[in-house]
């Protein structure tokens, strides 16, 4: 059912954005856009006994195209993007991911905005599987009585198909709820809090899980084009059918402090990110920690 509604929304937005806009009606605007990005990533992870688990680099290539149809504060948009990940080193396979998104945004009152979204992922990596196709539908309400304060609540439903190598494909589905509060102090100067709860139910015992996360981020401008963003995120995951050595269900906790520099001169998007990852689990072989460094250069047309 979800896939039918998502396909219908994609088709409707495609017709809207492909329809010619009358030259006599300048209240509607057709806005095409595109973006290209190259990222270089370096990561190293060790166990608590300092045994090396991951030591490698990768190059990410991303391309995105989109088109929007706007009238006042009402906006229809469709976009497609593709990411190619080139993993450097012997025995490391390259991966690719496609994503297609359709959105509709409009005010629904003096201080409220509504966004409806339909999205399809192809070959995405998820918490429960390395090769997942997903259909997603979401609705988001934004409450912004003043520019200094913004609250967002979003509910999503996901339907997933898992490729299991030589085994038969399996599937899962479940909701996700997001809540966000942002305090604005000035241009590009924010303090933001995020909460998320999600779950997937599946007949495949390896795929079902429940997860909660909380994050805080502070963005501060240094110059008009340069800003710094320290952040911290904590994620807890409980798996439905994966067992720890002593017979309990597997429980993981991820703590990720990070700092990011964003330099956006004109249409260039240059970003550098450093993360340190602490991964705890009641399955000891999965306990590890390490860093991940990323430098990306993009251009928005």
Total-model pTM: 0.85
pLDDT, one tens digit per residue, over 72-121 is: 889 999 999 999 999 887 777 888 899 999 999 999 988 999 999 999 99
How many whole angstroms separate alpha carbon 141 and alpha carbon 122? 27
Instruction: Confirm whether 57 is domain-assigned.
Output: yes
Binned at pLDDT 50, 70 and 90, residue 12 comes out as: low
Q: With CA atoms as reference, report the closest residue to 203 among 232, 239, 241.
A: 241
Instruction: Confirm whether 29 is domain-assigned.
Output: no
Residue 56 near residue 40 (C-beta atoms within 8 A): no
Q: Which element (helix H / strand E) includes 209?
A: strand 209-221
Average pLDDT over residues 136-159: 96
Beta strand segments in 72-128, E = 74-88, 95-107, 112-126
What does the pLDDT read at residue 11?
A: 53
pLDDT, one tens digit per residue, over 194-204 is: 999 999 999 88
Instruction: Confirm whether 31 is domain-assigned.
Output: no
Q: Which element (helix H / strand E) includes 6?
A: helix 2-18
Instruction: Confirm whether 286 is domain-assigned.
Output: yes
How many whole angstroms separate alpha carbon 147 and alpha carbon 184? 7
What does the mean pLDDT of the chain come to?
88
142's tokens: 């934004």
CA dihedral sign, ordered 221, 227, 230, 235: positive
Q: What percent of the chain has pLDDT over 70?
A: 88
Number of domains in the chain: 1
Whether the per-residue pLDDT at 23 is higher than 50: the answer is: no
Domain that holds residue 211: 2-17+36-300
Q: Hey, which of 13-17, 48-52, 102-106, 127-131 has the most confident mean pLDDT?
A: 102-106
What does the pLDDT read at residue 26?
A: 59
Instruction: Confirm whether 177 is domain-assigned.
Output: yes
Average pLDDT over residues 22-36: 77
Instruction: Confirm whether 176 is domain-assigned.
Output: yes
Instruction: Confirm whether 23 is domain-assigned.
Output: no
What does the pLDDT read at residue 193?
A: 98
What does the pLDDT read at residue 22?
A: 45
**CATH code for the domain of 52:** 2.40.160.40
How many whole angstroms separate alpha carbon 58 and alpha carbon 64? 20
Average pLDDT over residues 158-166: 91
Q: With CA atoms as reference, report the closest residue to 297 among 28, 136, 62.
A: 62
Instruction: Confirm whether 26 is domain-assigned.
Output: no
Residue 75 near residue 102 (C-beta atoms within 8 A): no
How many whole angstroms separate alpha carbon 299 and alpha carbon 297? 7
For the stretch 255-290, what's the b/e string if a residue is b when 16 or more beta carbons lie within 10 angstroms of its beta carbon? ebebebebebeeeebbbebebebebbbbbeeebbbb
Whether the per-residue pLDDT at 14 is higher than 80: the answer is: no
């Amino acid at each position: 059912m979800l896939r039918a509604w998502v396909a219908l929304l994609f088709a409707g937005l495609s017709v809207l954005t492909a329809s010619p806009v009358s030259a006599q009606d300048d209240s509607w605007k057709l806005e095409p856009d595109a973006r290209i990005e190259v990222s270089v990533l370096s990561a190293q992870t060790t166990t608590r006994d300092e045994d090396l688990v991951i030591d490698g680099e990768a190059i990410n290539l991303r391309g995105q195209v989109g088109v929007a149809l706007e009238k006042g504060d009402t906006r229809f948009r469709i976009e497609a993007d593709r990411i190619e990940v080139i993993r450097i080193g012997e025995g490391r396979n390259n991966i690719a991911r496609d994503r297609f998104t359709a959105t509709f945004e409009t005010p629904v009152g003096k201080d409220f905005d509504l966004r409806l979204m339909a999205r399809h992922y192809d070959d995405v990596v998820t918490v429960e599987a390395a090769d997942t196709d997903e259909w997603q539908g979401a609705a988001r309400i934004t409450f912004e009585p003043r520019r200094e304060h913004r609250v967002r609540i979003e509910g999503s439903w996901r339907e997933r198909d898992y490729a299991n190598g030589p085994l038969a494909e399996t599937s899962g589905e479940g909701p996700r709820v997001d809540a966000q509060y942002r305090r604005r102090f000035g241009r590009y100067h924010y303090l933001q809090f995020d909460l998320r709860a999600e779950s997937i139910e599946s007949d495949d015992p390896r795929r079902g899980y429940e997860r909660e996360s909380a994050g805080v981020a502070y963005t501060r401008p240094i110059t008009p084009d340069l800003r710094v963003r320290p952040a911290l995120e904590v994620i807890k995951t409980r798996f439905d059918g994966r067992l720890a050595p002593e017979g309990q269900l597997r429980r993981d906790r991820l703590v990720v402090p990070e700092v990011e520099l964003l330099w956006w001169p004109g249409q260039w998007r240059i970003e550098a990110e450093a993360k340190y990852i602490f991964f705890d689990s009641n399955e000891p072989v999965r306990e590890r920690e390490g860093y991940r460094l990323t430098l990306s250069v993009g251009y928005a047309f």
